[in-house]
């Protein structure tokens, strides 16, 4: 098939490369000339393990093409995927302006007798119906469109694996033709097929992300109890997670959730519920607990350090194996510590450049984690990169002015840290001194 992806972020670019690797001809449309040129030259722009190699492979095979124009890609495509951003507005609603602007451009460039237009962007219920109205209003008379919703469930850091091995492939449409074509397109991909209507497909993505965010906030709420009572949150949640009805996956206490999906999707689902006159108390609490988790961790550092103002920060991205800092808990913690006049030496394997774009000279940047630690009064871990889990703790102790570690992801064993002589502060567990 010939396919077009509009948008070259995590969803659009990764999925485009995967479908090109299956032998399809794939167009990717963007609007920034500088980014289009970088992509044409094999630079994926974003950090994602394995993506550069997959991009280069399919560029060399001439199966993937990048452009800023719509005419040729849309005119020859069997399927067009809309994969643009839907960032939150100030009131929490999803900003759909780009989605609708793209739909107008698609409609004006349709040439085939029938084209499948499928939205991969996370959008509120009813958005695809509006896309369909735009397409039918503006399309050439002799062309036809079938609209579908095909939400993605990629995790940044494992996006290529998730594209090939999803738990489920959701296809929502009122058109049998669209369902059949999309089923054929996804044939090489594993995962249970969920074939449904447009509204259900739109709501599935929000529901999934809200549930995962709820598990994280629930784990953090229990960590608050544990810190007040002397219980160990890891032991509590390990035992609770053995119940097959509950499970331990994603029930991880920490400094809070972030990224491009959970924060905006929880906000959007709250706004959708309010528009429907529903009580959103549960989702409001998920958001509130996430905010408290970030504040509690920052306050813990401020209270313990008092007059000591030099800190090393390990981990800036919202999760490991990505350079994405959108809504990252590190942003909140860094700002709170800067407000208190801390000097911050920071290190991240991938996200330093993105943080530098936001904070500039307010932070001190290092290319080596141990250099960042040298002469700092304490180490703060905000992201659970594997290299931090296997760090040389004795070396860290020798480099620090004081043997103090604040672990926002519970990656170290308290007993080990105590045995090494650290003052160790984690989440939902009693500090060792």
Q: What is the pLDDT of residue 295?
A: 98
In degrees, to the nearest 5, what angle opens at C-alpha 193 toward C-alphas 187 and 195?
115
| 153 belongs to an annotated ligand binding site | yes
d(CA 423, CA 414): 9
| 342 belongs to an annotated ligand binding site | no
Active site residue 261: yes
Question: How long is the chain?
Answer: 433
Q: What is the DSSP string of 286-301?
A: HHHHHHHHHHHHHHHH
Q: Match 């972020």 to its residue by tokens.
A: 9
Q: What is the pLDDT of residue 257?
A: 95
Same-fold call for 2-196 versus 212-425: yes
Is residue 260 pLDDT above 90, yes or no?
Answer: no
For 155-189, what is each residue's pLDDT tens digit?
999 999 999 999 999 999 999 999 999 999 999 99
| 207 belongs to an annotated ligand binding site | no
| 73 belongs to an annotated ligand binding site | no
Are 312 and 345 in contact, with CB atoms under 8 Å apart? Answer: yes
Q: What is the pLDDT of residue 433?
A: 86
Q: Which CATH architecture has domain 2-196?
A: 3-Layer(aba) Sandwich (3.40)
- Bridge partners, 378 (sequence order): 311
| 86 belongs to an annotated ligand binding site | yes
Are 280 and 322 in contact, with CB atoms under 8 Å apart? Answer: no
Residue of 350, 341, 343 lying closest to 315 (CA atoms): 350
Q: What is the pLDDT of residue 401?
A: 96
Q: What is the pLDDT of residue 127?
A: 95
Is residue 429 pLDDT above 90, yes or no?
Answer: yes
Confidence of residue 307 (pLDDT cuts 50, 70, 90): confident
- Bridge partners, 432 (sequence order): 424
Q: Which CATH architecture has domain 212-425?
A: 3-Layer(aba) Sandwich (3.40)
Is residue 284 pLDDT above 90, yes or no?
Answer: yes
Percent of the chain with pLDDT over 90: 97
Average of per-residue pLDDT values in the chain: 96
For 17-38, what is each residue's pLDDT tens digit?
999 999 999 999 999 999 999 9
| 25 belongs to an annotated ligand binding site | no
Average pLDDT score over residue span 278-289: 97
In degrees, to the nearest 5, what angle opens at C-alpha 294 toward C-alphas 291 and 299?
120
Average pLDDT score over residue span 75-82: 97
For 353-373, what is each residue's pLDDT tens digit?
999 999 999 999 999 999 999
| 120 belongs to an annotated ligand binding site | no
Q: Which CA distances in Å does 88 have to 85, 91, 255?
A: 10, 8, 22
Confidence of residue 75 (pLDDT cuts 50, 70, 90): very high
Which segment of 83-92, 275-284, 288-297, 328-337 scores lowest on mean pLDDT?
83-92
DSSP H or E run through 275: helix 262-275
d(CA 287, CA 276): 19
* Marked catalytic residue, from 17, 119, 150, 261: 261
List the domain boundaries for the chain. Answer: 2-196, 212-425
């Amino acid at each position: 098939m010939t396919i077009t992806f509009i948008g070259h972020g995590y969803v659009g670019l990764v999925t485009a490369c995967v479908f090109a690797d299956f032998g399809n001809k794939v167009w990717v449309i963007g609007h920034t000339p500088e980014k289009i040129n970088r992509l044409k030259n094999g630079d994926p722009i974003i950090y994602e393990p394995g993506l550069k190699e997959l991009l280069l492979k399919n560029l060399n095979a001439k199966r993937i093409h990048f452009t800023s124009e719509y005419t040729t890609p849309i005119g020859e495509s069997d399927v067009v995927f809309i994969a643009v951003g839907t960032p939150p507005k100030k009131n929490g609603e999803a900003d759909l302006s780009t989605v609708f602007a793209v739909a107008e451009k698609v409609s004006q460039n349709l040439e085939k007798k029938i084209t499948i237009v499928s939205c991969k962007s996370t959008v509120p219920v009813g958005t695809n119906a509006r896309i369909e109205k735009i397409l039918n209003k503006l399309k050439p008379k002799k062309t036809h469109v079938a609209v579908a919703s095909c939400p993605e469930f990629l995790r940044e850091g494992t996006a290529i694996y998730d594209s090939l091995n999803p738990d489920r492939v959701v296809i929502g449409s009122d058109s049998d033709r669209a369902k059949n074509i999309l089923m054929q397109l996804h044939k090489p991909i594993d995962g249970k097929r969920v074939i449904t209507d447009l509204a259900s497909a739109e709501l599935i993505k929000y529901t999934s992300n809200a549930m995962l965010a709820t598990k994280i906030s629930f784990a953090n709420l229990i960590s608050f109890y544990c810190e007040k009572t002397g219980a160990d949150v890891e032991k509590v949640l390990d035992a609770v997670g053995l119940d097959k009805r509950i499970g331990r996956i994603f029930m991880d206490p920490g400094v809070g959730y972030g990224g491009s999906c959970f924060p905006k999707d929880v906000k959007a689902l709250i706004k959708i519920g309010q528009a429907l006159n529903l009580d959103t108390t549960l989702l409001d609490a998920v958001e509130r607990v996430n905010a408290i988790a970030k504040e509690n961790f920052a306050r813990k550092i401020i209270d313990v350090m008092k007059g000591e103002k030099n800190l090393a920060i390990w981990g800036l991205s919202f999760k490991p194996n990505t350079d994405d800092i959108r809504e990252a808990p590190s942003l909140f913690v860094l700002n709170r510590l800067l407000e208190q006049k801390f000097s911050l030496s920071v290190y991240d394997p991938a996200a330093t450049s993105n943080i530098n774009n936001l904070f500039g000279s307010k932070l001190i940047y290092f290319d080596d984690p141990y250099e960042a630690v040298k002469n700092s009064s304490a180490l703060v871990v905000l992201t659970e990169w594997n290299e931090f889990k296997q760090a040389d703790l004795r070396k860290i102790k020798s480099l620090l002015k004081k043997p103090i570690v604040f672990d926002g992801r519970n990656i170290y064993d308290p007993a080990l840290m105590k045995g090494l002589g650290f003052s160790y502060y984690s989440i939902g567990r009693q500090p060792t001194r």
